[in-house]
Amino acid sequence: MTTVLPKYVAVIGAGAAGLVAAHELRREGHEVVVFERGNKVGGTWVYNPTTESDPLGIDPARTVVHSSLYASLRTNLPREAMGFREYPFVAKNGAHRDPRRFPGHGEVLEYLNDYTTEFGLGELVRFGAEVRRVGLEGGKWKVRSTACGEPLDEVYDAVVVCNGHHTEPRIAEIPGNILIYALRHGQDFKSTATITVFLSHFEIKDIAGVAKEVHIASRSVTDGTMGKLPGHDNMWLHSMIESAHGDGTVVFRDGSAICADVILHCTGYKYHFAFLDVNDSVTVDDNRVGPLYKQVFPPLLAPLLSFVGLPWKVVPFPLCELQSKWIAGVLSGRVSLPSSDEMMADVEAFYRTLDASGIPKHYTHNIGDSQFEYNDWLATECGCPPSEEWRKQMYSETSKNRKVRPETYRDEWDDELLVAQAHEDFANCSS
Ligand code: FAD
């Protein structure tokens, strides 16, 4: 018979990761408080039409706008694959509901609200409570938070960090540029010529529809692919930017130049844990959060400090669900961890594999190619079934479809059979 030892756990953030962590921790018998600096659950999916006053994110005292969603955003994953394993993301009827397979962002927020209601998670969340400091004192975690400007110090057995990683901008260093970072509408670009540096989430076609010219600078561009983009009258592909000047001149590495009104950085975000005071037991170095055993536990502080949702290029909700189950089980003693030396050796071996494959440090948490292997490892640790075959195949089919039909993959697909298999599974899940 397993001895379950409940812990008093602070979860930082009430986005998808914090919600599923809270659910899994409570299910395992732990007592949970979720700190949320905003006034709603949903994190990234709480759309905010305002943009930050300091688009470079340099001023630490700036007012932070957490979500980087733009108005027209639709999911880039089909809802069947995107949802939690134990709470399928199925279409629902209702005035505010979006039944599409790749719905708009509002539908994802509705789904997370449904999840919160279904499992009664709202009562665990302290809204308007920002965590300012997390430090170890006498073997316990002292958590300092502020609500309405009032500081509050409390003691917890364990802390689970779920603060998201799409808020702190990672900016390309270009001397003397003019730029806009946070965008909400493609219309923000009316009649301007635009430069973009590396493509990531933003739908460039939204901008191209209204801007005069769009010039895309990309690291991956080879000589043969430069020039006007096929099918677009006002989009050009270039090599990386060499320099930008006050008069708007932008010079590319191949020596060509154009005149731009705006430089848009699509260079991603940085992991950021300003509240962590743990004497370098875990640090962020060139966007590597480490050392972390299997992307979750810092060996020196395991299992009482953990991180949910760091991996990227993945299907985040089910991955966070499995990480949360693992943390909950480890904290109660139902699931065991290796010794801290063994965990450290595992991390070092992982870093050596990355080095040997020429993968840069800032790709440490890009586990896209091995995400299902990773999920299945977590599932085995937790004693639950591996990822559904249909989910793996659907992810792969969607990736292929996105390449073949970049403009229309959200509305045209060929994986109906997988959709049917998913729904069969969902029916079994609810029966
Ligand atoms: P977040 O959603 O960022 O939540 C973190 C929470 O922590 C926030 O509520 C924040 O207020 C709170 N917080 C932060 N710091 C503190 C603090 N100090 N104290 C208290 N609270 C704090 N995923 C998909 O599955 N499908 C998609 O189509 C998809 N599209 C995306 C498009 C964009 C533009 C972006 C940015 C992301 C997209 N994602 C998508 C990934 C998305 O990030 C995840 O789906 C998921 O929302 C991550 O949840 P999270 O809880 O880790 O972080």
What are the 10-residue block averages of pLDDT along the chain, 431 residues in total? 78 98 98 97 94 74 83 95 98 94 98 98 97 96 93 98 89 59 52 50 66 81 71 84 84 86 79 95 96 98 98 98 98 97 98 97 95 98 97 98 93 98 90 56
Q: How far is the CA of 186 from the centre of ligand 1 (A)?
A: 22
CA 65 – CA 86 distance, rounded (Å): 31
For the question of an ipTM over 0.90, the answer is yes
Distances (CA, A) of 382 to 135, 236, 330, 340: 28, 49, 9, 19
Q: List, in order, residues 6 or more apart from 81 with CB less than 8 Å away.
A: 315, 391, 394, 395, 398, 422
CA 211 – CA 189 distance, rounded (Å): 5
Find out whether the peptide bond into 291 is cis, omega within 30 degrees of 0: yes
Q: How far is the CA of 59 from the centre of ligand 1 (A)?
A: 22
Segment holding 20, helix H or strand E: helix 16-27
Residue 229's pLDDT is: 78
Among residues 305, 290, 254, 321, the alpha carbon closest in space to that of 87 is found at: 321
- Cβ(34)–Cβ(14) under 8 Å? yes
Residue 312's pLDDT is: 96
Residue 180's pLDDT is: 46
Distances (CA, A) of 151 to 13, 132, 271: 17, 9, 25
43-76: b (≥16 Cβ within 10 Å) or e: bbbbbeeeebebbebeeeeeeeebbbbbeebbbe
- Cβ(319)–Cβ(346) under 8 Å? no
- Residues in contact with ligand 1 (CB, 6 Å cut-off): 12-18, 35-38, 43-45, 66, 68-69, 73, 75-77, 82, 130-131, 162-164, 166, 201, 275, 309, 316-317
- Cβ(158)–Cβ(226) under 8 Å? no
Q: Count CB atoms within 10 A of the CB of residue 350.
A: 17
Instruction: Tell me which of 23, 34, 41, 44 to substitute to probe ligand 1's pocket, judged by most ligand atoms within 8 Å of the beta carbon.
Output: 44
- Cβ(225)–Cβ(236) under 8 Å? no
Q: Whose CA is nearest to atom 31 of ligand 1?
A: 75
Q: How far is the CA of 342 from the centre of ligand 1 (A)?
A: 31
Distances (CA, A) of 20 to 23, 91, 279: 5, 20, 28
Map tokens 């006498």 to a residue: 138
Residue 125's pLDDT is: 98
